[in-house]
Amino acid sequence: MAYMITEQCINCYACCEDCPMNAITAGDYYKSSKINPMLCNECEGIFEFQACLEVCPINAIVPNPVLIETKYDLYKKGKNISEKIFHYNDSRKNIEV
């Protein structure tokens, strides 16, 4: 199940800084931070807990009942995103300037 950030968010940005998938976009004075469900894998295969839930000082991050995914789907999503990031970084090493 994906997570979402409620209106109670105080924009302390702790979740943005701790998200290993960079799935959280920082909010501002007018709107809360947002979790991109296409990038969030609930830290499956990375931590035994959800990093954003651990660092939120006011518990503004809650399950989103609309987006339900299995642990296997979350693990695959995280693996695919990580492979793309590592592949991109590896390909940049071979570029000569």
The residue with tokens 């909010």 is 27
Write the DSSP string, 5-66. E-TT-----HHHHH-TT--EE---SSS--EE-TTT--TTTTT-SS-HHHHH-TT--EEE-TT
**Whether this model's pTM surpasses 0.75:** no
Where are the chain's structural domains? 3-92
60-72 burial, b for 16+ CB within 10 Å, e for fewer? bbeeeeeeebeee
Q: Dump pLDDT digits (tens) for 21-64.
A: 899 999 888 888 999 988 888 888 778 889 999 999 999 999 88
What fold characterizes domain 3-92?
Alpha-Beta Plaits (3.30.70)
